[in-house]
Amino acid sequence: MSRNDRFDDDRYENEHDDDHSSSGSSSSSDDLYEYSSSGSSSSSDDLYEYSSSGSSSSSDDLYEYSSSGSSTSSTSNGLYRLAEIRDYDGHLHGGSSDDRIESGYKYQGLFDVNNDGVYEKIYTNRYSGRWVTECEDPVTGIVDYGDYGQGGTTRVVGLYSDPLVEAGIVERGNTYDSQVRFQKDLSIDNLVVKTAGDYDGDGMQEVYWKTVDGTAYLRALMHADGNIQYANYQNEQQMTDYLVSTGNADIVSVVV
Structure confidence by residue, pLDDT tens digits, 67-124:
334 556 665 578 999 999 999 999 999 998 899 999 999 999 999 999 999 999 999 9
Residues 170-204 have pLDDT tens digits of 999 988 999 999 999 999 999 999 999 999 999 99
Q: What is the pTM of this model?
A: 0.72
Edge-to-edge order in the sheet of strand 191-197? 191-197, 206-211, 217-222, 228-234
Q: What are phi and psi of 151, to 5 degrees?
A: 85, -10
pLDDT for residue 40: 38
Nearest Cα to Cα of residue 127 among 159, 92, 90, 96: 96
Average pLDDT over residues 200-209: 98
Residues 11-65 have pLDDT tens digits of 333 334 444 443 333 344 344 433 333 333 333 333 333 333 333 333 333 333 3
Edge-to-edge order in the sheet of strand 73-74? 73-74, 79-81, 105-111, 120-125, 130-134, 155-156
Query: Is the CB of residue 42 less than 8 Å from the CB of residue 114?
Result: no
Whole-number Å distance between alpha carbons of 13 and 163: 9
* Cβ neighbours, 10 Å, residue 54: 8
pLDDT for residue 151: 87
pLDDT for residue 97: 86
Report the percent of the chain where pLDDT is more than 70: 70
DSSP per residue, 171-209: -TTSTT-HHHHHHHHHHTT-EEEEEEE-TTSSS--EEEE
125 versus 74: the higher-pLDDT residue is 125
Q: How many helices (H) and strands (E) does the chain have?
A: 6, 10
Query: Is the CB of residue 102 less than 8 Å from the CB of residue 112?
Result: no
